[in-house]
Amino acid sequence: MTISDFTEAELIARIQHNLPFPPDWLLVGIGDDAAVVQPERNRAEVFSVDALVDGVHFDRAFVPPDAIGHRALAVNLSDLAAMGAQPRLALLSMALPPRLPIADFDQIVLGFSRLALEHRVHLAGGNLTRTPGPLLIDVTVVGSVKRRQALTRKGARPGDELYVSGTIGGAAAGRQALQTGRPVDGLPMASCARQYLYPEPRVRAGVMLARNRAVRACVDLSDGLADAVHQIARASSTGAVVEAGLLPLPPPARDWFHAQGLDPAVAAVSGGDDYELLVAVAPRHGRRFNAVAARAGVSFTRIGACTDGHDVVIRSSAHGGAFDAPLTHTGYVHFR
Amino acid sequence: MTISDFTEAELIARIQHNLPFPPDWLLVGIGDDAAVVQPERNRAEVFSVDALVDGVHFDRAFVPPDAIGHRALAVNLSDLAAMGAQPRLALLSMALPPRLPIADFDQIVLGFSRLALEHRVHLAGGNLTRTPGPLLIDVTVVGSVKRRQALTRKGARPGDELYVSGTIGGAAAGRQALQTGRPVDGLPMASCARQYLYPEPRVRAGVMLARNRAVRACVDLSDGLADAVHQIARASSTGAVVEAGLLPLPPPARDWFHAQGLDPAVAAVSGGDDYELLVAVAPRHGRRFNAVAARAGVSFTRIGACTDGHDVVIRSSAHGGAFDAPLTHTGYVHFR
């Protein structure tokens, strides 16, 4: 049985089957021309949209369908987290190839719904269409934040310290390992594969950092750490230095990159698919920041600092000296 | 020059070039992880998302790129209109084939922006991705309505009269004429082609009908009039009768369908692509409804009524008698 054996109404019913009871602020949900929602009092609203395309952002050959649904929501929740916003609702728009097995469709929805439930995000509407092309999942998320607490990219100042949540490079290593087609279950790479397939958006950390005004700028790592550092530096009109020796690479990822003949630090900063947060912290807020991060249950690692000027560099230590090189700016790849 | 000659940042800059000065309620716009918006006081928010796929919802062979951009926004504004919501902002998510000419990209954005400006919808964010498949444009729109004024599909009662705005069948006839590949400029079909390419969403009418509580149920015709009648009847637990002789077909469309050997009424109710409103009006509200429609500058035509029971029929008159047939329910086509 594939998608083409079902009507749109039947597919929508399969999605609704997964949903919890609608919250009272959802005045009109799935099934009308549009969703109607009661906004939260005294909060600004935060909107993000992000699409995943088969063959571009994932590959059905090695990404199980529930992971596709999980990632489609996770990448968007990560954007909300980077603004310090509490997620509230999502709209799910899918372009479905007719030959997609219905079991895969159900699993995609399941992966999406599980993560939605975990973060108390309610699916308020969406769109289904067929496509002669690849599977595409486009998710819009809506969250809220107190107006003056929204985290942006532009508040960093020279001297601020840069911290990254969790680890970096694991997802890229996991993706590469999965691409080989060899099973990674139980291997050292299993944890990296999991980081790639089921990223955990840092929603709680983002919300708590915003509420406690513990950081001056924040961005998520969707396009890799190098790009994220450039984003903060450019928006804040600062330079930045990243210290290669401080980067928190998981040991299996480090070993994996070594075995592939890659410099682990370079591979990790340009790898992407880590849905972590990069934040700029004023030196005098260091203690408050550490306390909030600890309460959020997320480890942050200091990886460098914002500097005067506009140069964004990665610093390596060798033979007792320090060597700076431009931090490769992978966010500006050509659009192909 | 095609899309593949540009970076994502350059493409975003080309979009921003078209935008008016951002309104003061847009606290953070394009360029951060997410948009931050100040909600309107004492209004509920209305969300809709709809995707157009090349080869499914339009065909680049005969739809000019500015019309693609126009339609991508229009179909969403039509959904807001059907809820009685005033549109406010949009998010534009595009999956772009690498070989798309940059001139076409610019025209798509131009068509979108022109309609956005006309309805004072501000582009607050979006997403660009490449795709190995067809061009896909997914638009999320956000509007607002007073909580108790939102129009839904479910308030109709037996005896309510059904009215449709504008005309029906013109867009379907125009699409068919364009598909022949013969130029339609200056021909009788030019107006139909225009209805297909540049539909005018009934935003003002929807807002005014909601504000004046002039209708009991409302839906837009995205999937054709027959489907719209079924939507209202099912959601309201009524039947419905549509009188074929009352359907407002533009004369060129009627002639076109005749020339193709089609029954004009049947072709018009199942044709789709008319972004008109279907409303159910309580008989005692007829005068108020007509006054509001006149002030909105939109002609509405009575085409039938809601009935007891659950049958949805189309009634034809011939030889002094009336003949009922089931109204073909094109909304339930299989998903292929």
Tell how strand A35-37 and strand B44-53 pair up: antiparallel
Q: What confidence tens digit (pLDDT) does each residue in A71-130 have?
A: 999 999 999 999 999 999 999 999 999 999 999 999 999 999 999 999 999 999 999 999
Task: Report, as an integer, the average pLDDT of A178-185.
Answer: 86
Please tell me which residue of chain B has the smallest CA distance to A33: B79
- The answer on pLDDT for B330 being more than 60 is no
Please tell me the distance from the alpha carbon of residue B67 to that of residue B89, in angstroms, as a whole number. 20
Please tell me which residue of chain A has the smallest CA distance to B80: A34
B4 in reach of chain A (CB within 8 A): yes
pLDDT of residue B329: 65
Sign of CA dihedral A287, A223, B68, B266: negative
Task: Report, as an integer, the average pLDDT of B76-91.
Answer: 97
A34 min Cα distance to partner chain B (Å): 5
pLDDT of residue B44: 96
Tell me whether residues A47 and B37 touch, CB distance under 8 A.
Answer: yes
Tell me whether residues B147 and A33 touch, CB distance under 8 A.
Answer: no
pLDDT band of A272, cuts 50, 70, 90: confident
DSSP state letter for B335: -
Residues 140-199 of A with CB under 8 A from B: 140, 142-143, 145, 147, 150, 152-154
Tell me whether residues B129 and A53 touch, CB distance under 8 A.
Answer: yes
Task: Report, as an integer, the average pLDDT of A206-210.
Answer: 97
Let me know: does A113 contact A18? Beta carbons within 8 Å: yes
Task: Report, as an integer, the average pLDDT of B110-114.
Answer: 97
pLDDT of residue B335: 53
Chain B residues closer than 8 Å to A93 by CB: 49-51, 138, 140
B55 in reach of chain A (CB within 8 A): yes
Please tell me the distance from the alpha carbon of residue A136 to that of residue A54, in angstroms, as a whole number. 6
B43 three-class SS: coil
Which has the closest alpha carbon to A192: A217, A208, A175?
A: A175
Tell me whether residues B32 and A5 touch, CB distance under 8 A.
Answer: no
Which among A47, A53, A234 is the top mutation candidate for probing chain B, defined by the most B β-carbons within 10 Å of its own β-carbon?
A47
How many helices and strands, by DSSP H and E, does chain B display? Answer: 10, 13
How much of chain B, in percent, has pLDDT values that exceed 90?
86
A260 in reach of chain B (CB within 8 A): no
Task: Report, as an integer, the average pLDDT of B50-71.
Answer: 95
Residues 6+ apart with CB under 8 A from B169: B247, B249, B250, B253, B254, B257, B264, B267, B268, B269, B271, B274
Let me know: does B236 contact A31? Beta carbons within 8 Å: no
- The answer on pLDDT for A336 being more than 70 is no
Please tell me the distance from the alpha carbon of residue A97 to that of residue A132, in angstroms, as a whole number. 6
Task: Report, as an integer, the average pLDDT of B33-51.
Answer: 95
Place of tokens 């984003």: A231
Q: What confidence tens digit (pLDDT) does each residue in B256-282 have?
A: 999 999 999 999 999 889 999 999 999
Q: How many CA atoms lie within 13 A of A31 on its CB side?
A: 17
Tell me whether residues A55 and B9 touch, CB distance under 8 A.
Answer: no
Residues 71-90 of A with CB under 8 A from B: 79-80, 82-83, 85, 89
ipTM over 0.90: yes
B131 in reach of chain A (CB within 8 A): yes
- The answer on pLDDT for B234 being more than 90 is yes
Tell me whether residues A127 and B51 touch, CB distance under 8 A.
Answer: yes
Please tell me the distance from the alpha carbon of residue A273 to that of residue B221, in angstroms, as a whole number. 41
Q: Which amino acid is at B93?
A: S
A96 min Cα distance to partner chain B (Å): 9
Which among A1, A2, A24, A36 is the top mutation candidate for probing chain B, defined by the most B β-carbons within 10 Å of its own β-carbon?
A36
Please tell me the distance from the alpha carbon of residue B235 to that of residue A85, in angstroms, as a whole number. 35
pLDDT band of A329, cuts 50, 70, 90: low
Mean pLDDT over each residue of chain B, to the nearest integer: 94
Task: Report, as an integer, the average pLDDT of A10-25.
Answer: 92
φ, ψ of residue A162 in degrees (nearest 5):
-100, 130
pLDDT band of A181, cuts 50, 70, 90: confident
B95 three-class SS: strand
pLDDT band of A177, cuts 50, 70, 90: very high
B36 min Cα distance to partner chain A (Å): 4
pLDDT of residue A171: 95
pLDDT of residue A232: 97
Chain A residues closer than 8 Å to B130 by CB: 53, 56, 335-336
pLDDT of residue B333: 47
Q: Where are the alpha helices (DSSP H) in A84-219?
A: 102-118, 170-179, 190-197, 203-211
Size of interface A-B (CB pairs under 8 A): 246
Q: What confidence tens digit (pLDDT) does each residue in B148-177 have?
A: 999 999 999 999 999 999 999 999 999 999
pLDDT of residue A335: 52
pLDDT band of B96, cuts 50, 70, 90: very high
Chain A residues closer than 8 Å to B31 by CB: 235
Tokens of A244: 């290669």
- The answer on pLDDT for B236 being more than 90 is yes
pLDDT of residue A331: 43
Q: CA B188, B192, B198, B200: dihedral to nearest 10 degrees?
A: 120
Task: Report, as an integer, the average pLDDT of A216-221.
Answer: 96
pLDDT of residue A183: 82
Q: What confidence tens digit (pLDDT) does each residue in A95-107 have?
A: 999 999 999 999 9
pLDDT of residue B188: 85
Residues 6+ apart with CB under 8 A from B99: B2, B3, B4
Please tell me the distance from the alpha carbon of residue A312 to that of residue A38, in angstroms, as a whole number. 44
Residues 219-248 of B with CB under 8 A from A: 219-220, 235
Task: Report, as an integer, the average pLDDT of A176-199.
Answer: 90
B44 in reach of chain A (CB within 8 A): yes
Q: What confidence tens digit (pLDDT) does each residue in B241-258 have?
A: 999 999 999 999 999 999
Greater confidence (A247 vs B317) lies with A247
Please tell me the distance from the alpha carbon of residue B312 to that of residue B331, in angstroms, as a whole number. 13
Please tell me the distance from the alpha carbon of residue B208 to that of residue B214, in angstroms, as a whole number. 8
A111 in reach of chain B (CB within 8 A): no
Tell me whether residues A32 and B83 touch, CB distance under 8 A.
Answer: yes
DSSP state letter for A188: T
Q: What confidence tens digit (pLDDT) does each residue in A129-150 have?
A: 999 999 999 999 999 999 999 9
A3 in reach of chain B (CB within 8 A): yes
- The minimal CB distance from B33 to the residues A38, A79, A131 is found for A79
Tell me whether residues B32 and A4 touch, CB distance under 8 A.
Answer: no
- The answer on pLDDT for A334 being more than 80 is no
Which has the closest alpha carbon to B262: B274, B246, B249, B273?
A: B249
pLDDT band of B87, cuts 50, 70, 90: very high
Sign of CA dihedral A207, A208, A212, A216: negative
Chain B residues closer than 8 Å to A201 by CB: none
pLDDT of residue B334: 46
A37 in reach of chain B (CB within 8 A): yes
B102 in reach of chain A (CB within 8 A): no
Q: What confidence tens digit (pLDDT) does each residue in B9-25 have?
A: 899 999 998 888 999 99
Question: How buried is A259 (Cβ within 10 angstroms: 0-12 exposed, 13-18 middle, 19+ buried)?
Answer: exposed
Q: What confidence tens digit (pLDDT) does each residue in B165-220 have?
A: 999 999 999 999 999 988 888 888 899 999 999 999 999 999 999 999 999 999 99
pTM surpassing 0.90?
yes
Mean pLDDT over each residue of chain A, to the nearest integer: 94
Q: Where are the alpha helices (DSSP H) in B237-330?
A: 251-259, 264-270, 286-296
